[in-house]
Amino acid sequence: MRMALTLTIKRFEDLTAAELYEIYRVRVAVFVVEQECAYQEVDDADRRCWHVFLHDDAGIAAYCRVIDAGVTFDEVSIGRVLSLRRGRGLGTRIVEEGLAVARDRMNASVVHIEAQTHAHGMYERLGFVQVSDEFLEDGIPHIGMIWRADAAR
């Protein structure tokens, strides 16, 4: 039986070398290898965001980053959302934790994401609204979505 998941929320400069290695390892495993997308997965936005992850003795189970306003969009944004233990609600939970970081630590009232189209239902259940037509990002269909604090449930 696995131990309970621990939530860690850190800025780039506060991550240990082991934490940063594990974050990059799981992101590359999902976004580059599994999804077969050859792109610069590690980018400068990593230095200007909160890294939010659920983990236990087996490693990271879910991750997202909450990026400062003005880095990728005018608004705070959430990206690199992943769950390694699928079908357990961890994708929803990690996005909820990311929204809490955006609200509580960054005073964000609007959060922008570029969601993989297949996951739009999860984001809609969390209060995101589609704001763009579908587009391809690294060969994968995406849509722009916005979350507004004043419209959240």
Q: What is the pLDDT of residues 49-102, one digit of tens each?
A: 999 999 998 899 999 999 999 999 999 999 999 999 877 889 999 999 999 999
How large is the average pLDDT for residues 32-61? 86
Does position 3 have pLDDT exceeding 70, yes or no? no
Q: Output the CA torsion sign for 92, 77, 32, 20.
A: negative
Higher pLDDT, 18 or 40: 18
Specify whether domain 6-151 bears CATH 3.30.160.270: no
Q: What is the pLDDT of residue 86?
A: 79
Q: What is the pLDDT of residue 1?
A: 47
When computed from its CA atoms, the radius of gyration of the chain, rounded to whole angstroms, is 15
Element (H, E) at 91: helix 90-106
Higher pLDDT, 120 or 3: 120
Mean per-residue pLDDT of the chain: 91
For the chain, the domains span: 6-151
Residue 33's φ and ψ, nearest 5 degrees, are: -80, -60
Inter-CA distances, 81 with 35, 60, 115, 119, 151, Å? 13, 12, 9, 10, 22
The DSSP-derived string for 3-61 is PPPEEEEEEGGGS-HHHHHHHHHHHIIIIIIITT--S--S-GGGGGEEEEEEEETTEEE
